[in-house]
Each structure stands twice: as structure tokens, then as C-alpha cells.
Structure 1
Amino acid sequence: MNKNQERSFIATMKTNHGNLHLPKITYGKTTLIKKLDYDTWSFDANMDISSYLCVKTDAPANQIKFYFDCIDDYYSIYLLTDGLYHRYALSNENQDFISAFRYDHEQTTYNLLDGNGQIVTLDQINTDTPVLRIQTRGGRTLSARGNTKVGSLVCTGKVSARPLDFKFEILSRGAA
């Protein structure tokens, strides 16, 4: 794997469905919702989504900066926050939903896709405000699922969901 600092960058993002946020940062407490796939036979009807990446129209804008660390043509995405979850990685290690996890070598990596569905890296993006889609290394497009009190949950789209268009504001190119 070839790390490529020239293709790495820091950005904020919004989506076509609203602003990105983490409930624990937004509300300052543990956030529980009813499981989206609630099964009456399960023991717990609620799920803790405090560290899940969510999208909501009235969530605070630019709550999180994202560091896109390029390796070949894939990106590891890290959170840059003012405290909680700082330098955590976005991953879906345990399930369909995207959440903040401490760094490890098994975390999810992503591709950036242009409007034609082609993989692009920073050196192919000639504006600081591109609109891109993000997909996992396994080819699943990041999407929004559910309609909860914290908005929709960002997921990999394994279950029916609405694909997200990410509106980037690139703040720093070639970031380390």
C-alpha cells in the first residue's frame, strides 16, 4: 500500500439530505433510538447511536472536519473535532451503519466517486467544492437510512436507503 500525502486532504462536508453530525457531540449525552430493524423477539428494542454518523437538515453545520488519508486510490476517513472522537476513524466494522471508531488496521476504507461514478483522488479534483459520492472498498455507496429524532443514519446501503451526495469544502490539500 502506498500512502500518498499529496492526495490527502482536510474538508468539511454537507449532504443532499442535510448536515453531518454525531449525536454525542450535538446533544452532549448518550442517544438511544428504537432499532430500525426492531424484532419483537430481540432482548433490546433500543440502540445507542451516540457515535453514529447522522445527517439532519437542522443539525449544526461543520460540526466535524474530516481528514481523508489517501492510500493508493482509497481513503481512510478520520474525524477532526474539538474533543470527543478526535482522530477517530469512520468505519462500519460491526454493522451497516457508519460510526466513529478508534483507529485500527481493519477499519473501512473508501473511494470517492465523481458524477459519472468514476473513482477520483484529490489530484483529479480541480475545485475546492466538489460534489462526490463515497463508497466503501467493497463497493457500497454511503446512504441515509431511517428518520429518527437525530435525523437519518449514514449507512453502507446494504438495506434499502437513499444514496448521499456529499458537498465538500476542501480546507487543506496535501495534509498530513
Structure 2
Amino acid sequence: MGQNKERSFVATISTNHGNLHLPRLTYGKTMRVRKLDYDVLSFEANMDVSNYLCVLPDAPQRARFYFYCIDDYYSIYVLTNAAYHRQALSNEDKDFIATIPPDREQTTYNLLDEQGRIITLDDLRGDNPTIRIQTRGGKLLSVRGKTRVGGLVCTESFRSKPLDFKLDILSRGAA
């Protein structure tokens, strides 16, 4: 596996469903919502989504993300001035994308062009491309649910809608 800092970059991201945000940073407190797959036989009806990646049309500010290139896939890290700084985006909790401390088991991603081909920073024309993102296992990042914190970013499922990501690349070859 070749690390490639020249193909790494920092960007803010918006989507066709709104801006990405982390509820704890947006609201300044722990955020719980009703489970999207709530089962009346379950003991717990709510789940903590404070560190989940969410999409909200009127999210106040766009988060910055560091895309760290390894061969033709990326580890994605959140860059904040607060909690979750440099934590990795991963789907450790069912199919939802959340922040976790980085480790060797975190989810890695491929960037896709409009034809669904795997691309890297070298293939992006300009600083504002629109892409799709999939897990290395081939599942597209999507959004599902309508909660008070917005839709939850997840790996594709039958109840989700694929996300188109509009990047605003702030720096290339970032370390």
C-alpha cells in the first residue's frame, strides 16, 4: 500500500441534500433521536447520534475534511477546532457513518466520477468537483431518515438516497 500525500487534500463538502455536520458540534450537546429501525420489542427507542455524520439543509457551517490517499482509496478525517478533531469517518455502527479514533480497521473510501469510475485527486478538474463516495467494499454513501438533526449519512440500503458530494478543495497535497 502506497501512501500518496500528493493525492491527499483538504476540502469542505456540501451535498445534494444539504450540508454535512456533526450534531454535537452543531448543537453543543449530546443529541439523541428515535432509532430509524425502531422495533417495539427493543429496550431502547433512542440512539445517540452526536458523532454521526448528518445532512441538514440549513447546517450553519460546513465541516472541513482531510482526504488521506493510500493507493486509489482514501481515509477521511474530520478537521475541527473542537471535539472529533482528526477522527476518522467510519461505519462502525450498523451502516451509519460516524467519527471514531483512527485505527487500522476504519472504513476506507473510493471517490467516483459521474460514470462511477474510481478516481483520485489527479483526476479532479478544478477545485469544485461533484463526486460520489463509496466504501472500499463498494457501498455508496447515502442519506436516510428525517430527524431533528437531519438525515443520517449511511452506506446504501433500500431506504436510502445516494448522495452527490460537491467538494470545495481548500488545499492539495495536504499533510
Please give the range of the TM-score, normalised by the shorter of the 2 chains: over 0.9
What does residue 69 of structure 1 align with? Answer: 68
Counterpart AA for 1:5? K
Supply the AA of the counterpart residue of 1:150. Answer: V
Instruction: Give 1:158 deviation, angstroms.
Output: 2.9
Describe the superposition over 1:116-165 as per-residue Cα deviations: whole angstroms up to 9, x where unpaired: 11110001112100000000001000000000011100000134200000
* 2:89 corresponds to: 90
Counterpart residue number, 1:5: 5
Higher strand proportion: 2
Q: What's the secondary structure of 2:25's corresponding residue?
A: helix
Query: TM-score scaled by structure 2?
Result: 0.98
User: Superposed, which structure 2 residues align to 1:4-43 within 5 Å?
Assistant: 4-43=4-43
* Structure 2 segments unaligned to the other structure (5+ residues): none
Alpha-carbon offset, residue 169 of structure 1:
0.3
What is the identity, as a one-letter code, of the residue corresponding to 1:17?
H
Q: Size of the alignment, in residue pairs? A: 175
Partner Cα distance (1:126, 1:16) in 2: 20
TM-score, structure 1 length as denominator? 0.98
2:101 is matched with: 102
* Structure 1: gaps (5+ residues): none
Q: Measure the CA separation in 2 of the matches of 1:24 and 1:94.
A: 17
**Partner Cα distance (2:170, 2:22) in 1:** 20
Give distance in 2, aligned partners of 1:141 and 1:39. Answer: 26
The separation in 2 between residues aligned to 1:15 and 1:55, in whole angstroms, is 8
Task: Give the stretch that moved more between structures: 153-162 or 163-172.
Answer: 153-162
Q: Which residue of 2 aligns with 1:46?
A: 46
Aligned-partner Cα distance in 2 for 1:126–1:148: 35
Cα RMSD of the aligned pairs, angstroms, is: 0.7
- How far off is 1:61 after superposition? 2.8
SS of the residue corresponding to residue 122 of structure 2 reads: helix
The one-letter code sitting in structure 2 at the alignment partner of 1:54 is: C
Moved more, 156-165 or 98-107: 156-165
Matched residue, 1:142 = 141
Give the SS at the match of 1:24.
helix
SS in 1 for 2:134: strand
Distance in 1, matches of 2:146 and 2:40, equals: 20
